């Protein structure tokens, strides 16, 4: 199956804000996140951070560029060397998705923490990324979204890609599970 053009110019630094329902679908399928301090390292204008906060989570929101959300300083996620959070939850820039996954896992391993990345559903198909999934003990769940994400509110056509939340948890034991959402409208 080939890609079809979206008709939209690519947004600089992949600033595609995650619709609220996408983060709500994650929260509905990941109750273990409750009470955890969460880091959103690609927060953009804060759309995902606001949903996490509304769910009662303490959220550290950063972005490579100051965009006017949160009190936290801007910074390049890939340059951070430590973090005092129990989970990293983000929609990473597409071109840096693998680097974000690898770095987040390195940061969370010593803390026994968790990582959730919003990625295309076929992200786990690539041979070069199999180490993140097959035989990767912290890989715990793939939450396939049963609705396609509409990245542009004024979009008239059907979205082209399917997405899923990929979740790694350094305290996870056993094989990963597969879930489907959203359970929210």
Q: Identify the pLDDT of residue 83.
A: 81
Mean pLDDT of 53-79: 80
pLDDT, tens only, 91-148? 999 999 999 999 999 999 999 999 999 999 999 999 999 999 999 999 999 999 999 9
Q: How many CB atoms lie within 10 A of CB 77?
A: 23
Q: 126 vs 84, which has greater pLDDT?
A: 126
| Closest by Cα among 143, 125, 124 to 25 | 143
Would you report the helix, strand and coil content of the chain in percent, each value rounded to 5?
Answer: 30, 20, 50
Confidence of residue 51 (pLDDT cuts 50, 70, 90): very high
């Amino acid at each position: 199956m080939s890609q079809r053009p979206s008709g939209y110019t690519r947004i600089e630094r992949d600033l595609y804000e995650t619709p609220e329902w996408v983060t709500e679908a994650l929260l509905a399928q990941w109750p273990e996140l409750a009470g955890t301090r969460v880091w959103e390292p690609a927060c953009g204008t804060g759309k995902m951070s606001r949903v996490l906060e509304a769910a009662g989570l303490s959220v550290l929101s950063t972005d490579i560029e100051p965009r006017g959300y949160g009190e936290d300083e801007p910074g390049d996620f890939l340059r951070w060397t430590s973090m005092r959070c129990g989970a990293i939850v983000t929609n990473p820039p597409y071109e840096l998705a693998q680097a974000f996954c690898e770095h987040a896992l390195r940061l969370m391993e010593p803390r026994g923490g968790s990582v959730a990345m919003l990625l295309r559903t076929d992200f786990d198909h690539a041979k070069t990324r199999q180490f993140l999934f097959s035989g990767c003990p912290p890989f715990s769940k793939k939450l396939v979204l049963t609705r396609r994400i509409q990245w542009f509110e004024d979009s008239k056509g059907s979205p082209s890609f399917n997405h899923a939340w990929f979740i790694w948890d350094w305290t996870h034991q056993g094989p990963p599970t597969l879930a489907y959402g959203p359970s929210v409208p």
